[in-house]
Structure 1
Amino acid sequence: MGNIHRFINGFKLFQQQLYGDNELLAAQLAKGQSPKTLVISCSDSRVDPALLMGCSPGDIFTVRNIANLVPPYELDNAYHGVSAALEYAVCFLKVEDIIVLGHSGCGGIEGLLLGADGNMVGEFVGRWVDIASDARDRAMARVAAGESNDLSCVCEQEAILTSLTNLQTFPWLKKRLLAGELDLHGWYFVIERGELSVYRPEAGRFEVLVEKHNF
Structure 2
Amino acid sequence: MKRFSGLVDGYGRFRQTGWVEQRARWSELAEGQSPQVMVIACSDSRVDPAQIFDVDPGEIFVVRNVAAMVPPYETTPGHHGVSAAVEFAVQFLKVREVVVMGHGMCGGCHAALTQNLHGNEHGAGGFVADWVGMLDDVRDPVAREYGTSGRVAELAMELAAVTLSLGNLRSFPFVAEREQSGELALRGAHFAISDGVLRVLDEETGEFGPAA
Map of 1:192 onto structure 2: 194
- C-alpha distance in 2 between matches for 1:30 and 1:118: 44
Structure 2-normalised TM-score?
Answer: 0.91
Q: Summarize the alignment of residues 7-156 of structure 1 with structure 2, pairs less than 5 Å apart.
A: 7-115=7-115, 122-143=125-146, 150-156=152-158
Kept in 1: contact 2:188–2:201 (CA 8 A) = yes
| Residue 203 to residue 83, structure 1, CA distance change in 2 (3 Å) | same
The alpha-carbon deviation at position 18 of structure 1 amounts to: 4.1
Root-mean-square deviation (CA, aligned residues, Å) is 2.0
Map of 1:182 onto structure 2: 184
Q: Summarize the alignment of residues 196-211 of structure 1 with structure 2, pairs less than 5 Å apart.
A: 196-209=198-211
Q: Which amino acid is 2:93 matched to? A: L
* Structure 1: unaligned runs, 5 residues or longer: 211-215
Kept in 1: contact 2:117–2:126 (CA 8 A) = no
- C-alpha distance in 2 between matches for 1:4 and 1:116: 31
Q: Which amino acid is 2:135 matched to? A: A
- C-alpha distance in 1 between matches for 2:42 and 2:87: 19
* Structure 2: unaligned runs, 5 residues or longer: none
1:161 aligns with 2:163: yes
- C-alpha distance in 1 between matches for 2:66 and 2:19: 33
The alpha-carbon deviation at position 110 of structure 1 amounts to: 1.0
Deviations 1:129-160 (A, max 9, x none): 0111122123223326xxx9711100000000
Q: What secondary structure sits across from 2:33 in the alignment?
A: coil
Q: Which amino acid is 1:170 matched to? A: F
Q: What secondary structure sits across from 1:150 in the alignment?
A: helix
Deviations 1:52-99 (A, max 9, x none): 111111011011000000000001111100000110000000000111
| Residue 34 to residue 40, structure 1, CA distance change in 2 (3 Å) | same
The alpha-carbon deviation at position 118 of structure 1 amounts to: 5.1
Kept in 2: contact 1:134–1:162 (CA 8 A) = no
- C-alpha distance in 2 between matches for 1:161 and 1:45: 22
Q: Percent identity over the alignment? A: 41
Moved more, 158-167 or 1-10: 1-10
The alpha-carbon deviation at position 24 of structure 1 amounts to: 1.0
Q: What secondary structure sits across from 1:186 in the alignment?
A: strand
1:172 is aligned, of 152, 171, 174, to 174
